[in-house]
A and B are shown apart, each in its own frame.
Chain A
Amino acid sequence: MTLRLGSRILANTVVWGYALVILGPTLWVLSNAFKFKIDIITGATISPFTWINFHELLFSRQSDFLTNLLNSAVIGIASTAIVIVVATMAAFTLTCLNVRPWVRWALLGWALLFHMLPTLTFVGSWYLMFSSVGLHGTYFAVIMTHAVHNLPMALFLMMSFVGALPRELIQAARMDGCSYGQVFWRIAFPLVRGGMIAATALTFIFSWSDFAISLTLTSRDTMTVPVAIATFAQEYDIRYGEMAAGTLLSIVPALLLILLGQNFIVRGLLAGAVK
């Protein structure tokens, strides 16, 4: 009994401690969004409430935050759409069609290796490539790079969903007169929608919060939110309040997607674990 009580206290301490480590700094940053600059710098815990940081962020002439939000949304939505379509079709092809095993393993191995290497390894090359063809600073450059960067993760996730489709279901559809394209659209697609929602949520969040690629490949016109937030830290002035307000606003879409997709994400990661 004592042991059980002891282990419960220990488990609770670990969980709450972990939550505190994550939530503490987040709450501190978020509370700064509603403080005057002087209160932030002096570290006042209780301070007067203000919307000034949001006002500055959204409506001041020095800030392009609404444009940055729009850029993040355009890049996030477009790259996610590409990733999900390609990953789902690739997963279907690799699992359901007669692809030679070495082709399958070469592709997946490359995807895994690519995903394991740090992003910073590639950004220099991408910068040079896009600059040399005059595409640096365009939506196209960032969208394609985000798509390439997030594809392996989405592919592995979709492989587990598509792989969980019973083989006989696909054969039954073939017997019923479906071409492989029709099998994909009429049978596989409706049945892996849950997986697609999970992959969409994760891919969009990764694209939305990316810093390294966006910093290197965007210009002032195409700058995304994380890069914009970083620009608030200037040489002589760090605009803590606007940074906090920007962070708060940028968390909202990611949070909504996580709430929407979390059931599917867990299911995706566990697909095939039990019958």
Chain B
Amino acid sequence: MADVTIQGFQKFYGSVEVIPPLDLEIRTGEFVVLVGPSGSGKSTLLRMIAGLEKIDAGTVSIDGEDITGRDPGDRDMAMVFQSYALYPHMTVAENMTFALRMRGTGDAVIRERLTEALRMLSLEGYENRKPAQLSGGQRQRVAMGRAIVRQPRVFLFDEPLSNLDAKLRARTRLELRELHDRLGATSIFVTHDQIEAMTMADRIVLLDHGRIQQIGSPREIYEEPRNRFVASFIGSPEINLLEGSLHVDGDTIIFNGLTLPGRKAEMPTGGEYTLGIRPEAFDVSAEPLAGTAPLAIRAVEYTGSDVFVFGTIDAGPLTVKLPAEGHSLRDGIGAGTIIHVRPRAEGWHLFDRSGQRVVKT
């Protein structure tokens, strides 16, 4: 059991409020990812939970037990740092067992947990090496091992994958998630990488300027962004955001000359809005059909599995992802050609001037 409850967390640097009052509830065994751009306060929030950063107001508790005033070492939390922070003068085994030795755990227990962690992380045979004699991936695993042997109630991860190359990062992502499922401990993971957030999280907490923008499952965050910031932060390539005016005439919805299918229940009748459409939420054809708009192609990006088309319609610039393999349009398009696009009925969002979503898909 390790429910983590944060109430009224607040942090100032001088007179600047970096974390406005913030509440967050993390349930036992959950893998929660704090994600946001640089300066969003995600690392600060994690360090406040860990006890490494002073809390100016608010409390943090585990299973109802207030641990706000406790030393970082007395919170039963283990942290994996971005730089791994391995002790350079200690061997792998000494690094991994340091915390246990500090709290006077018996030798037999230490040996047992070390052996188990080394096996789990495929580090057998490396226990007598110093960190300098290891590769980046191995160091990362030692840092993980150092957290695992403690069997803490809560794991804290501060961008632990960002120093790995892309291939290794993808593999470690999966291993980390599997490890979490096996250990069943509560995990709080900080990253600025939306792919990491989407692929690993049970729930994502999206932060900007210290404020929670949205909490939800990866699917909720992607498909039902609560505001413009969430919509544009999650998704690659970015969601298309078009500024313009909306006209609703009976069942016909026109946005800057673009016809939007699918009448929504809470539809406003008109006004200035931002239209958000994900690149994959378009029907595409070579010939004009009912409700399509001509897209003048500026560039085409081929990534192997996907083809992204960058161009302009009358309503503004658009990025469109072409449908799956085998679509007739995948060949024969290029800069200067024209295709016809139509937003899908369930694929668009409307945000008001303050950035809040007004129409649900």
In terms of DSSP, what is the predominant structure of the interface of chain A?
Answer: helix
Q: Which residue of A lies closest to B80 (CB)?
A: A172
Chain B residues lying within 8 Å of A182, measured Cβ to Cβ, are: 102
Asked whether A12 is an interface residue with its Cβ less than 8 Å from the other chain, the reply is: no
Chain B residues lying within 8 Å of A169, measured Cβ to Cβ, are: 85, 87
Asked whether B88 is an interface residue with its Cβ less than 8 Å from the other chain, the reply is: yes
Do residues A174 and B52 form an inter-chain contact, with CB atoms below 8 A? yes
Chain B residues lying within 8 Å of A166, measured Cβ to Cβ, are: 83, 85
Asked whether A175 is an interface residue with its Cβ less than 8 Å from the other chain, the reply is: yes
A178 to B77, CA, bound (A): 14
A57 to B52, CA, bound (A): 62
Asked whether B138 is an interface residue with its Cβ less than 8 Å from the other chain, the reply is: no
Asked whether A191 is an interface residue with its Cβ less than 8 Å from the other chain, the reply is: yes
Do residues A175 and B83 form an inter-chain contact, with CB atoms below 8 A? no
Contact A176-B83, Cβ < 8 Å, known A171-B72, A191-B88: no
Q: Which residue of B lies closest to A168 (CB)?
A: B85
Do residues A177 and B102 form an inter-chain contact, with CB atoms below 8 A? yes
Asked whether A30 is an interface residue with its Cβ less than 8 Å from the other chain, the reply is: no
Chain A residues lying within 8 Å of B87, measured Cβ to Cβ, are: 169, 172-173, 187
A178 to B74, CA, bound (A): 10
Chain B residues lying within 8 Å of A98, measured Cβ to Cβ, are: 54
Do residues B85 and A174 form an inter-chain contact, with CB atoms below 8 A? no
Fill in one digit per residue for B47-63: 1 if any A CB lies within 8 Å of its CB, else 0: 10011101000000000
Which residue, of B85, B88, B103, has the highest number of chain A Cβ atoms within 10 A? B85
Chain B residues lying within 8 Å of A168, measured Cβ to Cβ, are: 81-83, 85
Asked whether B99 is an interface residue with its Cβ less than 8 Å from the other chain, the reply is: yes
Chain B residues lying within 8 Å of A178, measured Cβ to Cβ, are: 73, 102
Asked whether A48 is an interface residue with its Cβ less than 8 Å from the other chain, the reply is: no
Do residues A175 and B102 form an inter-chain contact, with CB atoms below 8 A? no
A178 to B87, CA, bound (A): 13
B129 to chain A, nearest CB (A): 17
Fill in one digit per residue for B88-99: 1 if any A CB lies within 8 Å of its CB, else 0: 110000000011
The residue that B85 contacts in the complex, of A171, A177, A179, with Cβ under 8 A, is A171
B21 to chain A, nearest CB (A): 23
Q: Which residue of A lies closest to B156 (CB)?
A: A175
The residue that A171 contacts in the complex, of B54, B81, B89, with Cβ under 8 A, is B81
Do residues A177 and B52 form an inter-chain contact, with CB atoms below 8 A? no
Fill in one digit per residue for B21-40: 1 if any A CB lies within 8 Å of its CB, else 0: 00000000000000000000
Asked whether B275 is an interface residue with its Cβ less than 8 Å from the other chain, the reply is: no
Chain A residues lying within 8 Å of B74, measured Cβ to Cβ, are: 177
Q: Which residue of B lies closest to A170 (CB)?
A: B85
Asked whether B79 is an interface residue with its Cβ less than 8 Å from the other chain, the reply is: yes
Asked whether B71 is an interface residue with its Cβ less than 8 Å from the other chain, the reply is: yes
Do residues B71 and A174 form an inter-chain contact, with CB atoms below 8 A? yes
A180 to chain B, nearest CB (A): 10
The residue that B78 contacts in the complex, of A171, A175, A179, A190, with Cβ under 8 A, is A175
Chain A residues lying within 8 Å of B51, measured Cβ to Cβ, are: 174
The residue that A175 contacts in the complex, of B50, B86, B89, with Cβ under 8 A, is B50
A175 to B71, CA, bound (A): 8
Fill in one digit per residue for A178-207: 1 if any B CB lies within 8 Å of its CB, else 0: 110010000100110000000000000000
Do residues B82 and A175 form an inter-chain contact, with CB atoms below 8 A? no
Do residues B79 and A172 form an inter-chain contact, with CB atoms below 8 A? yes
Fill in one digit per residue for A133-173: 1 if any B CB lies within 8 Å of its CB, else 0: 00000000000000000000000000000000010110111
A174 to B70, CA, bound (A): 12
A232 to B126, CA, bound (A): 64
A173 to B77, CA, bound (A): 13
A197 to chain B, nearest CB (A): 15
Chain A residues lying within 8 Å of B83, measured Cβ to Cβ, are: 166, 168
Do residues A172 and B73 form an inter-chain contact, with CB atoms below 8 A? no
A64 to B218, CA, bound (A): 84
Chain A residues lying within 8 Å of B89, measured Cβ to Cβ, are: 190-191
Chain B residues proximal to chain A, CB less than 8 Å: 47, 50-52, 54, 71-74, 77-79, 81-83, 85-89, 98-99, 102-103, 146
Chain A residues proximal to chain B, CB less than 8 Å: 98, 166, 168-169, 171-179, 182, 187, 190-191
5 contacts between A and B (CB under 8 A): A171-B52, A173-B98, A175-B99, A177-B102, A178-B102
Please provide the 4 A-B residue pairs with the shortest distance between their CB atoms, ordered closest to farther.
Answer: A177-B73, A176-B99, A172-B85, A168-B85
